[in-house]
Protein backbone atom coordinates (compact mmCIF):
# COMPACT_ATOMS: atom_id res chain seq x y z
CA UNK A 1 0.00 0.00 0.00
CA UNK A 2 1.46 3.33 -0.99
CA UNK A 3 0.48 6.80 -2.02
CA UNK A 4 -2.48 8.88 -0.94
CA UNK A 5 -4.61 5.85 -0.09
CA UNK A 6 -2.32 4.81 2.73
CA UNK A 7 -2.37 8.31 4.22
CA UNK A 8 -6.16 8.35 4.09
CA UNK A 9 -6.30 4.92 5.75
CA UNK A 10 -3.90 5.94 8.52
CA UNK A 11 -5.84 9.17 9.06
CA UNK A 12 -9.14 7.32 9.21
CA UNK A 13 -7.76 4.78 11.69
CA UNK A 14 -6.37 7.57 13.86
CA UNK A 15 -9.68 9.45 13.78
CA UNK A 16 -11.66 6.35 14.72
CA UNK A 17 -9.19 5.63 17.53
CA UNK A 18 -9.50 9.12 18.98
CA UNK A 19 -13.29 9.16 18.69
CA UNK A 20 -13.44 5.66 20.18
CA UNK A 21 -11.60 6.77 23.32
CA UNK A 22 -13.86 9.79 23.79
CA UNK A 23 -16.90 7.53 24.32
CA UNK A 24 -17.76 7.79 28.05
CA UNK A 25 -18.08 4.05 28.64
CA UNK A 26 -14.31 3.81 28.14
CA UNK A 27 -13.22 6.32 30.77
CA UNK A 28 -16.23 6.92 33.02
CA UNK A 29 -15.96 3.69 35.08
CA UNK A 30 -12.32 4.42 35.93
CA UNK A 31 -13.19 8.02 36.76
CA UNK A 32 -16.00 6.99 39.09
CA UNK A 33 -13.85 4.36 40.82
CA UNK A 34 -10.98 6.82 41.19
CA UNK A 35 -13.22 9.42 42.82
CA UNK A 36 -14.93 6.92 45.11
CA UNK A 37 -11.68 5.29 46.21
CA UNK A 38 -9.65 8.49 46.39
CA UNK A 39 -7.00 7.23 43.95
CA UNK A 40 -3.89 9.19 43.10
CA UNK A 41 -3.13 10.18 39.52
CA UNK A 42 -0.60 7.35 39.38
CA UNK A 43 -3.26 4.78 40.36
CA UNK A 44 -5.68 6.22 37.81
CA UNK A 45 -3.05 6.11 35.07
CA UNK A 46 -2.08 2.54 35.97
CA UNK A 47 -5.70 1.37 35.97
CA UNK A 48 -6.39 3.12 32.66
CA UNK A 49 -3.28 1.56 31.11
CA UNK A 50 -4.25 -1.91 32.28
CA UNK A 51 -7.84 -1.54 31.09
CA UNK A 52 -6.76 -0.02 27.78
CA UNK A 53 -4.20 -2.74 27.16
CA UNK A 54 -6.74 -5.44 27.95
CA UNK A 55 -9.25 -3.81 25.64
CA UNK A 56 -6.76 -3.52 22.78
CA UNK A 57 -5.38 -7.06 23.19
CA UNK A 58 -8.82 -8.67 23.44
CA UNK A 59 -10.02 -6.74 20.38
CA UNK A 60 -6.95 -7.86 18.46
CA UNK A 61 -7.46 -11.49 19.48
CA UNK A 62 -11.12 -11.38 18.41
CA UNK A 63 -10.10 -9.84 15.06
CA UNK A 64 -7.52 -12.59 14.49
CA UNK A 65 -10.10 -15.25 15.36
CA UNK A 66 -12.64 -13.80 12.91
CA UNK A 67 -9.95 -13.56 10.23
CA UNK A 68 -8.90 -17.20 10.72
CA UNK A 69 -12.52 -18.38 10.72
CA UNK A 70 -13.14 -16.42 7.53
CA UNK A 71 -10.12 -18.00 5.87
CA UNK A 72 -11.25 -21.48 6.93
CA UNK A 73 -14.79 -20.88 5.66
CA UNK A 74 -13.48 -19.46 2.38
CA UNK A 75 -11.19 -22.46 1.91
CA UNK A 76 -13.92 -24.96 2.74
CA UNK A 77 -16.89 -23.38 0.95
CA UNK A 78 -15.15 -21.23 -1.68
CA UNK A 79 -15.84 -23.77 -4.41
CA UNK A 80 -19.54 -23.89 -3.54
CA UNK A 81 -19.75 -20.12 -3.66
CA UNK A 82 -18.08 -20.07 -7.06
CA UNK A 83 -20.59 -22.66 -8.30
CA UNK A 84 -23.49 -20.55 -7.02
CA UNK A 85 -22.01 -17.45 -8.63
CA UNK A 86 -21.50 -19.29 -11.92
CA UNK A 87 -25.10 -20.59 -11.94
CA UNK A 88 -26.43 -17.13 -11.16
CA UNK A 89 -24.48 -15.70 -14.08
CA UNK A 90 -25.86 -18.41 -16.36
CA UNK A 91 -29.39 -17.69 -15.17
CA UNK A 92 -29.05 -13.93 -15.62
CA UNK A 93 -27.43 -14.47 -19.01
CA UNK A 94 -30.24 -16.81 -20.03
CA UNK A 95 -32.90 -14.21 -19.19
CA UNK A 96 -30.95 -11.36 -20.71
CA UNK A 97 -30.58 -13.10 -24.07
The answer to whether the pTM exceeds 0.85 is: no
pLDDT digits (tens, 9 = 90+) for 70-81: 999 888 887 888
In contact, 44 and 30? CB cutoff 8 Å: yes
In contact, 27 and 21? CB cutoff 8 Å: yes
**Please, what is the angle between helix 24-37 and helix 4-22, to 10°?**
40
On whether residue 46 sits in a domain, the answer given is no
On whether residue 79 sits in a domain, the answer given is yes
**Tally of domains in the chain:** 2
pLDDT digits (tens, 9 = 90+) for 40-97: 999 999 999 999 999 999 999 999 999 999 999 888 887 888 888 888 888 887 666 5
Residues 2 and 25 grouped into a single domain: yes
Residues 96 and 63 grouped into a single domain: yes
Residues 61 and 89 grouped into a single domain: yes
Alpha helix (H) ranges present in 1-97? 4-22, 24-37, 41-96
User: What is the domain extent for residue 6?
Assistant: 1-38
Amino acid sequence: MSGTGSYVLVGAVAAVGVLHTIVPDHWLPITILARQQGWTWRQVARSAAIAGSGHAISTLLIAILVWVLGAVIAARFGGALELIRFRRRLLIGHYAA
